């Protein structure tokens, strides 16, 4: 049995849970490589993608076929992202980004909570007292 036959049998034997896990892994991977999200969201998406990929590989009849299937899917996502980037670069779409508008806010005075004078005096005496 060749590797492609093994992948074909893995696809034919997949259940709903395995399909959901591979969908979650690829969706979270796509979020992890997206530059529009912040670092925390991308880190969480990468962790979710890794956990879903491990769960998918563990649930497949042959875990090696599951890993190969995930690798092929990740390469397909990367090829799509690369093709979209190169087409936008060829068409010059990246140069049409609008400039950001800088808004300067007036400097504010530091905010102080109203603390009763008794608490201020107590805090000052604790700070000044020798230990």
User: Would you give per-residue pLDDT tens digits along the chain (131 residues)?
Assistant: 676 776 677 677 778 888 899 999 999 998 998 878 888 999 999 999 999 999 998 988 878 888 888 899 989 988 998 898 889 888 877 665 555 566 677 777 766 666 677 766 777 777 776 65
**Cα 87 versus chain centre, distance:** 24
Q: What's the pTM value of the predicted model, to 2 decimals?
A: 0.60
Q: Can you give the pLDDT at residue 46?
A: 92
* Total number of domains in the chain: 1
Any domain includes 108? no
Any domain includes 58? yes
Any domain includes 130? no
Q: Can you give the pLDDT at residue 39?
A: 87
Nearest Cα to 74, choosing from 41, 27, 19? Answer: 27
Any domain includes 119? no
Any domain includes 101? no
The range of the structural domain enclosing residue 60 comes to: 3-96
Any domain includes 57? yes
Any domain includes 31? yes
Q: Can you give the pLDDT at residue 112?
A: 67
Any domain includes 123? no
User: How far from 57 is each of 35, 38, 75, 123, CA to CA, in Å?
Assistant: 27, 28, 17, 59
């Amino acid at each position: 049995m060749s590797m492609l036959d093994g992948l074909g049998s893995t696809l034919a034997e997949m259940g709903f849970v395995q399909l959901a896990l591979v969908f979650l892994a690829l969706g979270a991977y796509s979020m992890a490589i997206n530059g529009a999200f912040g670092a925390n969201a991308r880190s969480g998406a990468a962790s979710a993608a890794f956990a879903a990929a491990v769960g998918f590989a563990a649930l497949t009849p042959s875990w090696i076929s599951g890993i190969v299937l995930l690798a092929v899917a990740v390469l397909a996502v990367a090829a799509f992202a690369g093709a979209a980037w190169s087409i936008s670069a060829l068409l010059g779409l990246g140069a049409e980004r609008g400039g950001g508008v800088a808004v300067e806010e007036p400097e504010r005075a530091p905010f102080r909570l109203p603390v009763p004078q008794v608490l201020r005096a107590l805090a000052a005496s604790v700070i000044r007292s020798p230990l």
